[in-house]
Amino acid sequence: MIKVNRSVRIEWRNNPSSFELRNKDAFKTDFLRLGSAIRPVNELLSRSEEMRVLLPTVVGVSPIDSSWQERITTYLNDFLLEIPVHGLEFDTSYVLDLGNPALKSNIDLSVNLKKLIRLRMKLVRNLKLLF
């Protein structure tokens, strides 16, 4: 088992737009909302390899499952935080249990995919040299 201790602090940007300055009395808010972002073509804005290793245990679906994209999209769309004016600190520590067979399987799959991609790229370069 590997334990990684870390934390993240999220604070407001102290640079309001002219619209925000003109309408500050109307808004009267002491928090901002923070949510996930997915491009219009449903491409997740994150490293897909990391997600394929870490998120199967969170959403309960394998990356090769046909409902993978839908489950991840639903999970990320449901993510919404309210950040107060003074900011918010998160404990982002985790424990990586390499003895967990599901996690080991996902890590092995990720490593094998990287090897296949490198092999394919090498093959394409060699074919270009031939022609």
21-41 pLDDT tens trace = 888 788 777 777 777 666 555
What is the distance of C-alpha 95 from the center of its chain? 18
The pLDDT value given to residue 75? 82
Q: Which DSSP string do the residues of 83-130 spell out, in sequence order?
A: EETT-EEEE--EEE-TT-HHHHHHHHHHHHHHHHHHHHHHHHHHHHHH
Neighbours of 106 (CB within 10 A): 19
Instruction: Give pLDDT tens digits for 82-130.
Output: 888 888 898 989 887 878 887 778 788 888 888 888 898 888 888 887 7
Output the pTM of the full model. Answer: 0.42
What average pLDDT score do residues 14-18 get?
76
The pLDDT value given to residue 7? 92
Instruction: Give pLDDT tens digits for 44-62.
Output: 555 667 777 778 888 888 8
| CA neighbor of 45 nearest in space, from 56, 36, 57, 54 | 36
